[in-house]
Amino acid sequence: MSKAGKSCRHSGAVGSKPTRVTRHLMDNYGPEVGKVLDFGSGKVPRQTELLRQAGFDVHATDLPENHVIGVHATPRAVYIDTAWDVVLVSNVLNVQASPDRAAELIANLIRVKKPRVIIFNLPNAPVHWTEPGIVEHIGPGGRRRLLDDRLMGALRAKDYRMMQKHPYSGGVVYVIDNGQDLKEQPQIRGCMFPTRG
């Protein structure tokens, strides 16, 4: 947890410019998508602010040691009072202790919040998968295969599905959803997701 807290976003690619996860939301959804939770926003939630400037209804949350009153949503709002349509998880899975822990985090978000869509990434670096039995020095492709394997089991158990993976030079962005008929979601732009039926 200390590594995760120290990795919070402050500057550079995960600060002043949109991350791949933020950009994916901005490029493919309109602000009408509903309530967005920036999970693991960092002490200074610049991605949240970028999305707010673009018109999104987005709220930030992070570890207790990074929580700032008036900046981050209260734990009650995050976990009890608010139904989130989209959850963004950027620069979070890579600082869990293992791919199992990363998949468990996504499964817990699904169990507790039941969002329609979760958009998250696995950057190539840094990666802190250091639990016994995990070889931290395997390449990015190996890490993705490990995460994919763990995620597929977690998603099947929760009735969610992997919709898309978008590789980029610094990692990969994942999109999962709860299998709703997206033909009834006109706020989603273009043909991001295949409709069923």
The distance of Cα 90 from the centroid of its chain, to the nearest Å, equals 5
Number of domains, the chain: 1
What is the DSSP secondary structure assignment for residue 182, as one 8-state letter?
G
Secondary structure class of 3 (helix, strand, coil): helix
Whole-angstrom Cα distance, residue 118 to residue 84?
10
- In Å, what is the CA distance from 12 to each residue of 9, 53, 56, 67? 9, 19, 22, 21
pLDDT tens digits along 35-80: 999 999 999 999 999 999 999 999 999 999 999 999 999 988 888 8
**pLDDT tens, N- to C-terminus, the chain (197 residues):** 445 555 444 433 345 789 999 999 999 988 999 999 999 999 999 999 999 999 999 999 999 999 999 999 998 888 888 889 999 999 999 999 889 999 999 999 998 888 999 999 999 888 888 777 676 667 888 888 889 998 988 888 788 988 889 999 999 999 999 876 443 443 433 333 332 33
**Domain annotation covers residue 197:** no
Its domain, for residue 63, covers 2-180
What is the DSSP secondary structure assignment for residue 73, as one 8-state letter?
P
Residue 6 belongs to a domain with what CATH number? 3.40.50.150
Mean pLDDT of the chain: 81
**Domain annotation covers residue 185:** no
Whole-model pTM: value is 0.82
What is the DSSP secondary structure assignment for residue 127, as one 8-state letter?
-
Whole-angstrom Cα distance, residue 7 to residue 130?
15
**Domain annotation covers residue 117:** yes
Angle at 119 between CA 157 and CA 99, to 5 degrees: 55
Whole-angstrom Cα distance, residue 102 to residue 123?
13
**Domain annotation covers residue 186:** no
**Domain annotation covers residue 196:** no
**Domain annotation covers residue 192:** no
Q: Which residues pair with 122 in a beta bridge?
A: 172
Give the chain's radius of gyration (CA, Å): 16
**Domain annotation covers residue 191:** no
